[in-house]
């Protein structure tokens, strides 16, 4: 997908030398082949270009980069693990990339305060493991957790499979350290749960996708580590039945219900056929599935799970179910879910949506959206799956069998228009957890409150008057 924005001014050799001096020759990338991994993303939807990738090793170096860039009006694109799905991490128009991967230190773990202070380049999985090593839980969990970074997670306000119980990334951060466009460092790395001293500044930068400043560190919340985790894979007839199961589960398990994923038959079929070592845990196919997980601070999550499933079967809500008998089987359940995005690639073009609607509206949304996209493009194959517990669906639509992929993907905005109309009518959001980037930038003013857009632009103008921080993204 091509993004048209004014190109950045060319960098003179003298200016490149000044940037190199800040990070050191070894950490300034100018060779085109070496730059390539920073300007491509995993879905191949966007391809950027950049004359220079800087890999700072400290907040001070990020500050110096921003100060120099501000003095010369050079646009910067901050980048973490490069796993974003909306093009927000791409240098579309020749900007300088600031890779935060070398800022990978965990500065402190405080089990008394239940906090962990991480630099932006810490890989999410490393943060999870560090918390586990001190008998704590950092619950943010994503399919890309082996490569995405804390800075990127916060910049996009990532969600994931545990948002039902723990919330999204914003709710897991007590404070941040941010380098502003002019090089000033805002340090609000608070461990405090109570701090009523004016505006909550750190939340400005969480979800801003690097357009207001560069997050270099964050103080994260830790939680008690569960003593028991039980996982079930359930077959049922409809999203309406899944919603009834969710109601029973929340009534029986309350906060112990940590994940509740809705999976369509087609999504499961793709995952089984195209995933590596993936199989359907149930012997017979079902129109819909639920992957649900209970986590308990006590030693028993099995009893409430069995109670939930038993009641749902008695009420003929659930047709079949299996509870993981081992950690390996639990991992296999989750692997089926995690392979769903990649498994769509062999099926050709996929037009993707990351939407949310009120939980109660999910069944009606799926029914209306399925009918609408098939009417628009006969033979199109809806592949909905996602986090029913918080109303967030990955509503993907695969191309008709045998269709020309390029022709199909050219209808991206047509399909968006149909899907988004239903989302907005139901009081939902066109971006639940992936962000806006450039993929949804042009739609945002049409769906966002007009005063909200004005305020967002005012904040951007105040913090980044030269427009050098990740230009062309979000706004």
SS3 296: strand
Other beta carbons within 10 angstroms of residue 298's beta carbon come to 10
- Closest by Cα among 463, 462, 444 to 453: 444
Other beta carbons within 10 angstroms of residue 64's beta carbon come to 19
**Average pLDDT of span 338-344:** 90
Tokens representing 381 are: 């194959």
**Residue indicated by tokens 């950092």:** 138
Half-sphere exposure in the Cβ direction for 290 (13 Å, CA): 29
pLDDT of residue 160: 87
- State the Cα–Cα distance between residues 12 and 20, nearest whole angstrom: 12
Other beta carbons within 10 angstroms of residue 301's beta carbon come to 23
Residue 414, pLDDT > 70, answer yes
- State the Cα–Cα distance between residues 175 and 364, nearest whole angstrom: 38
pLDDT of residue 337: 93
pLDDT digits (tens, 9 = 90+) for 144-191: 899 999 999 999 999 988 888 999 999 999 999 999 999 999 999 989
Q: Vertex 161, ends 136 and 300: CA angle to 5°?
A: 55
The DSSP annotation for 435-446 comes to --TTTTTTTHHH
- State the Cα–Cα distance between residues 252 and 245, nearest whole angstrom: 11
pLDDT of residue 53: 98
Contact 337, 291 (CB under 8 A): yes
Q: What is the dihedral of CA 338, 297, 247, 383, to 10 degrees?
A: 0
Tokens representing 443 are: 């739609």
Between 165 and 234, name the one with better pLDDT: 234
The structure's pTM equals 0.91
Residues whose CB falls within 8 Å of the CB of residue 404, separated by 6 or more in sequence, listed in order: none
Residue 389 per-residue DSSP state: G
Residue 388, pLDDT > 80, answer yes
pLDDT of residue 341: 87
pLDDT of residue 8: 61
**Average pLDDT of span 118-132:** 97
**Average pLDDT of span 289-300:** 92
- State the Cα–Cα distance between residues 376 and 393, nearest whole angstrom: 20
- State the Cα–Cα distance between residues 140 and 369, nearest whole angstrom: 29
Domains parsed from the chain with CATH numbers: 13-102 (3.30.43.10), 106-224 (3.30.465.10), 228-426 (3.30.70.2190)
pLDDT of residue 9: 66
**Residue indicated by tokens 């914003």:** 170
Contact 243, 362 (CB under 8 A): yes
The length of the chain, given as a count of residues: 475
- Closest by Cα among 225, 221, 220 to 135: 225
SS3 457: helix
SS3 41: coil
- State the Cα–Cα distance between residues 145 and 334, nearest whole angstrom: 13
Percentage of the chain with pLDDT > 90?
A: 85
Task: Work out whether strand 288-296 and strand 257-264 pair parallel, antiparallel, or are unpaired.
Answer: antiparallel
pLDDT of residue 6: 47
SS3 25: helix
- State the Cα–Cα distance between residues 450 and 418, nearest whole angstrom: 22
pLDDT band at 2 (very low <50, low <70, confident <90, very high): very low
pLDDT digits (tens, 9 = 90+) for 50-82: 999 999 999 999 999 999 999 999 999 999 999
**Residue indicated by tokens 């970074």:** 149
Averaged confidence pLDDT in the chain: 94
Task: Work out whether strand 28-29 and strand 214-221 pair parallel, antiparallel, or are unpaired.
Answer: unpaired
SS3 75: coil
- Closest by Cα among 153, 145, 167, 138 to 207: 153
- State the Cα–Cα distance between residues 316 and 411, nearest whole angstrom: 40
Q: Using N-to-C axis directions, what is the helix angle for 412-425 and 362-376, rounded to 10°?
A: 150
Tokens representing 154 are: 């916060």
C-alpha pair distances (Å), 435 with each of 153, 210, 369, 453: 10, 11, 21, 15
Tokens representing 422 are: 């239903």
Residue 420, pLDDT > 50, answer yes
Residue 467, pLDDT > 60, answer yes
Q: Vertex 39, ends 17 and 456: CA angle to 5°?
A: 90
pLDDT digits (tens, 9 = 90+) for 237-251: 999 999 999 999 999
């Amino acid at each position: 997908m091509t993004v048209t924005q004014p190109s950045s001014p060319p960098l003179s050799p003298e200016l490149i030398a000044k940037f190199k001096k800040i990070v050191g020759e070894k950490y300034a990338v100018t060779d085109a082949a070496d730059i390539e991994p920073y300007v491509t993303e995993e879905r191949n939807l966007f391809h950027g270009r950049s004359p220079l990738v800087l890999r700072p090793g400290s907040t001070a170096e990020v500050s110096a980069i921003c100060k120099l860039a501000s003095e010369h009006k050079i646009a910067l694109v901050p980048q973490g693990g490069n796993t974003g799905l909306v093009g927000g991490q791409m240098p579309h128009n020749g900007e300088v990339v600031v890779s935060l991967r070398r800022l990978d230190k965990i500065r402190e773990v405080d089990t008394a305060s239940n906090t962990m202070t991480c630099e932006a380049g810490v890989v999410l999985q490393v943060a999870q493991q560090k918390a586990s090593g001190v008998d704590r839980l950092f619950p943010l969990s994503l399919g890309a957790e082996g490569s995405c970074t804390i800075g990127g997670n916060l910049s996009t306000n990532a969600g994931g499979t545990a948002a039902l119980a723990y919330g999204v990334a914003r709710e897991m951060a007590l404070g941040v350290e941010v380098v502003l466009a002019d090089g000033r460092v805002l340090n609000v790395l608070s461990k405090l749960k109570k701090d009523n001293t004016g505006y909550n500044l750190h939340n400005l930068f969480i979800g801003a996708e690097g357009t207001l400043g560069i997050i270099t560190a964050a103080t994260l919340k830790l939680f008690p580590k569960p003593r028991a985790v039980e996982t079930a894979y359930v077959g049922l007839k409809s999203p309406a039945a899944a919603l009834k199961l969710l109601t029973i589960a929340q009534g029986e398990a309350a906060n112990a219900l940590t994940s509740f994923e809705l999976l369509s038959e087609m999504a499961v079929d793709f995952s089984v056929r195209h995933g590596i070592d993936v199989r359907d845990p149930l012997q017979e196919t079902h129109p819909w599935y639920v992957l649900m997980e209970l986590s308990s601070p006590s030693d028993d999550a099995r009893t409430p799970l069995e109670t939930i499933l038993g009641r749902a079967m008695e009420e003929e809500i659930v047709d079949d179910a299996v509870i993981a008998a081992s950690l390996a089987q639990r991992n296999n359940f989750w692997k089926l879910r995690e392979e769903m995005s990649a498994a769509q690639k062999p099926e050709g073009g996929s037009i993707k949506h990351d939407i949310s609607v009120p939980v109660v509206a999910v069944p009606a949304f799926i029914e209306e959206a399925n009918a609408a996209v098939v009417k628009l493009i006969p033979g199109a194959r809806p592949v909905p799956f996602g986090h029913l517990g918080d109303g967030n669906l990955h509503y993907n639509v695969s191309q008709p069998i045998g269709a020309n992929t390029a022709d199909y993907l050219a209808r991206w905005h047509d399909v968006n228009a149909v899907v988004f109309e239903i989302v907005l009518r139901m009081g939902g959001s066109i971006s639940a957890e992936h962000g806006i980037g450039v993929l949804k930038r042009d739609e945002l003013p049409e769906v966002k409150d007009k005063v909200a857009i004005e305020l967002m632009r005012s904040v951007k103008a105040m913090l980044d008057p030269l427009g050098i921080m990740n230009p062309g993204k979000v706004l």
